[in-house]
Amino acid sequence: MTAPDQEAPVLQHQVVGNAMQMVVCTLQPGQVLFAEAGKFLFRSGDVTMETRLSQPATQGQGGGGMGGLLRGALEVGKRLAAGESFAFQHFTTRGGDGLVALAGVLPGELRAIEVQPGQTWMAEKDAFVGAEGTVRFDVAFSGLRTGFAGGEGFLLEKFTSTAGGTLFLAGAGNFIDINPAEYGGRLYVDTGCIVAFDGDRIRYSVERVGGLDRAGLMNAAFGGEGLTQATLEGDGQVILQSMTIDALAKALAKNAGAGDRKTGAGLGGIFSGSAD
């Protein structure tokens, strides 16, 4: 453990790759890295992996008895509602520096964010990859009206830290950083394009696309964006992604079996020729 008058060591890490990025972390004795189940890639032999229902930042806070069980069940329930895994994987090193690699599940970028003491970061569900043990993961409800209107925006992931720590988020496609204050103070965004934003300096809401006139109805019916869009206001960092999970799923579904249709493989290869 780190002495009270010593600063905790910074989590050393390196983001590797282009189209499908990963993060390789170097753990030092006393450091804890936790990740969503399914995001682990590899670890060195001196790193211990343990699966738990709780996260490091909340261990010892639940108390014992029925109250502790209820709080633990509530935490698990919120994670499941946000589309996250039932449990977390905890990584520690027994001796010297140990390697742990994590990654998202979609082709795209991965971002390391330094959560400052007392700071809040918000992210769309499924963005969480892993974090230092000093970072607390929670689920924020954006409100029934906002949530049912925005779809993806109903549940947001919330990250805080009292001591500061490193957070890893992943998304689809390429990332772009934008500050709404540099563009009139407001951004309108497809809710599926949001990766994360500074929760202390950015206000988030969902608005209807256009009015109930002809232009608004045309946008809703044929614009491909639905009836609503997210609004981000304030002076702070916003991270957006170039691909939405919904668009990727639709593209894959539309093209499923396209190769078989072109080559005749779907008919058992009777009429198929070269695939070139």
Give the CATH number, domain containing residue 167: 3.60.160.10
List, in order, residues 6 or more apart from 143 with CB less than 8 Å away.
Answer: none
Handedness of CA 94, 135, 196, 236 (dihedral sign): negative
Q: Note down the domain range covering 110.
A: 12-254
Q: Does residue 48 form part of some domain?
A: yes
Cβ atoms of 169 and 196 closer than 8 Å: yes
Q: Counting beta carbons within 10 angstroms of the beta carbon of residue 20, is it exposed (0 to 12), middle (13 to 18) or buried (19 or more)?
A: middle
Instruction: Answer whether residue 47 shows pLDDT above 60.
Output: yes
Instruction: Answer whether residue 207 shows pLDDT above 70.
Output: yes
Q: What is the mean pLDDT of residues 78-98?
A: 81
pLDDT in tens, 168-185: 999 999 999 999 999 999
Edge-first strand order for the sheet with 22-27 is 12-16, 22-27, 98-103, 40-43
Taking Cα atoms as reference points, which of 110, 36, 113 lies closest to residue 79?
36
Taking phi first (over 0 means left), then psi (-120 to 50 degrees means alpha), and beta for anything else, what does residue 78 get? alpha
Q: Does residue 30 form part of some domain?
A: yes
pLDDT at position 166: 97
Angle among Cα 23, 28, 30 to the nearest 5 degrees reads 120
Higher pLDDT, 244 or 26: 26
Q: Does residue 1 form part of some domain?
A: no
Higher pLDDT, 204 or 271: 204
Q: Does residue 206 form part of some domain?
A: yes
Q: Does residue 250 form part of some domain?
A: yes
Mean pLDDT of the chain: 81
Q: Does residue 124 form part of some domain?
A: yes
Structural domains in the chain (count): 1
pLDDT in tens, 212-239: 556 555 655 555 555 678 899 999 999 9
List, in order, residues 6 or more apart from 150 with CB less than 8 Å away.
Answer: 142, 191, 206, 228, 230
Q: Does residue 259 form part of some domain?
A: no
Instruction: Answer whether residue 261 shows pLDDT above 60.
Output: no
Cβ atoms of 231 and 204 closer than 8 Å: yes
Q: Does residue 202 form part of some domain?
A: yes
